[in-house]
Amino acid sequence: MLLRHTSTEIKERSALTVNPAKTCQPIGAMYAALGVHGCLPHSHGSQGCYAYHRSALTRHFKEPVVAATSAFTEGASVFGGQANLVQAIDNIFSVYNPDVIAVHTTCLSETIGDDVPQIFAKAMADGKVPDGKFLFHANTPSYVGSHVTGFASTTKAMVDYFAESNGRKAKTINLIPGYVEPSDMAEIRRIAESMGIATIMFPDTSKVLNGPLTGKYKMFPEGGVTIDELKKSGSSTGTIALGRIASMPAARALDAKCKVPCEILGLPIGLHGTDAFVDTLRRMAGVSVPDGLNLERGQLVDSISDWHQYLYGKRVAIVGDPDQVLALTRFLVSLDMRPVHIVTGSPAGKKYIKSLQAAVAEVPEAVNIKVPGDMYLFHQWIKNDPVDLIIGNTYAKYIAKDEDIPLVRHGFPIYDRLGHSYFSTMGYRGGLRLMEKLLDAILDCKDRDADDITMELVM
């Protein structure tokens, strides 16, 4: 038993996180920045940070991940990182020639008090930023929030730095997809475009972190939102932010800066989540829902009815990022399943906890919720009160193996399976895929455990 060290006795831990269900802000910042076309994320800190982030993202996406670093030394840590960052900006534009550099801070540069805007001003004054090239930054100290807030802050920084309003409104709708997979971003855009809506989506990591094999190494792949699009986002008709934790700050900032009205929704996971998204798109853009989308919806409803007998009453433990966990919980409850242990690693606030409690209000038994918690506590809950299914990232597989419970991988990171970057779990089609995964896990387990007498062919 790999996790034999997990005890069943639950103690309040204040000084200690064991087996985290989150990581630090800068990796979220890096992921968001990769969703800008021609952008080189830059870690203003020591060399290890960005090496770890690049490795973690590489393991998750199986794609090259580039970023640069200020490569702090002891000297920089005493005298400040200005010289390093100015030199870095100079070096990056002369060697790698990106369109834009997205700087994020780290615990180190935040604590020594580096002022990034002031350093940018110095770099520009010194002529280190060529014409037509851009810089932007987000403050992402690792001791605040989590990878999700790092993502949210960097997405907001795209608005702060680039969104402009010329007073005229274009017909475009801004989509802020949240901390989701490249496949999800592509699906969210597809749904909007199938309704005939022109969109600006940011960030957009599709075709960046799920690109094709071309026989060439491209430092800056094809995908990503362009700076021009980001500028135009200030003139859009409206913004739809998916996931309150990851996307609301950017949407609100755009409303405040350019008077683009926004709607904050949950992630479009499952029937209700997608209905809310499609309905908001329809209203905001003044279009009607096309037959194709209605068909997809109908197919999802049909499949739920076909298979609900294997799902209802099943007890589930979910661990993950706040926006995902909330949307998944709502979907499971709508399938008459019972999420009974729910943990997010990221701090998400009281309002979030209330939403989660409301989502499970109809579950006919007590539900454990911990925001923020860790995977150790999650495991303890499962040990004390076993479930039929676990939903979580790759690290949950240890729990699944030790407790012999089927696992559906969802979230970040997934280091050990294919699929997440190519097959979306968002929208009606994504709902079908999620259902398929839930059923595969549950029914494979049922088949495995069936004895010769009760083994069934038809399900």
**372-401 positions binding another protein, by CB under 8 A:** 376, 395
Nearest residue (CB) to another protein, 40 versus 439: 40
* Distance set, CA 147 to CA 209, 344, 346 (Å): 18, 12, 8
Q: Which is nearer to another protein, 45 or 406 (CB)?
A: 45
Three-state secondary-structure class, residue 50: helix
State yes or no: residue 26 binds another protein (CB under 8 A).
Answer: yes
Number of residues that bind another protein (CB under 8 A): 82
CB of 57 to another protein, least distance (A): 10
Tokens encoding 344: 């997010």
Residues 219-238 that bind another protein (CB under 8 A): 219
Judged by beta carbon, residue 315 or residue 409, the one nearer another protein is 409
Rounded CA separation 7/328 (Å): 28
d(CA 96, CA 116): 21
CB of 185 to another protein, least distance (A): 20
The Cα 173–Cα 183 span in angstroms is 20
User: Is residue 48 within the footprint of another protein (CB under 8 A)?
Assistant: yes
Nearer to another protein, 55 or 357 (CB): 55
Q: Of the ranges 50-58, 182-190, 240-248, 437-445, which one interacts with another protein (CB under 8 A)?
A: 50-58
Least separation in angstroms between residue 136's CB and another protein is 16
> Does 58 sit near another protein (CB under 8 A)?
yes
Per-residue contact flags (x/-) with another protein for residues 70 to 109, judged by CB under 8 A: xxxxx-xx-----xxx-xxxxxx-xxxx--------xxx-
Tell me: does residue 129 bind another protein (CB under 8 A): no
* Helix (H/G/I), strand (E/B), else coil: 301: helix
Q: Containing H/E element for 101?
A: strand 100-105
Q: Taking CB under 8 A as the criterion, which residues in 141-180 touch another protein? A: 141-144, 146
**At a CB cut-off of 8 Å and minimum separation 6, what does 41 contact?**
29, 30, 33, 34, 50, 66, 67, 68, 101, 102, 104
For residue 13, what are the contacts with CB-CB under 8 A and spacing of at least 6? none
Residue 337 as a binder of another protein (CB under 8 A): the answer is no
Whether the Cβ atoms of residue 392 and residue 320 lie closer than 8 Å to each other: yes
CB of 354 to another protein, least distance (A): 23
Of 330 and 420, which has the nearer Cβ to another protein?
Answer: 420
Q: CB of residue 376 vs another protein: minimum separation in angstroms? A: 8
Nearer to another protein, 3 or 367 (CB): 3
Residues 436, 226: Cα–Cα separation, whole Å: 35
DSSP bridge pairs for 264? 241
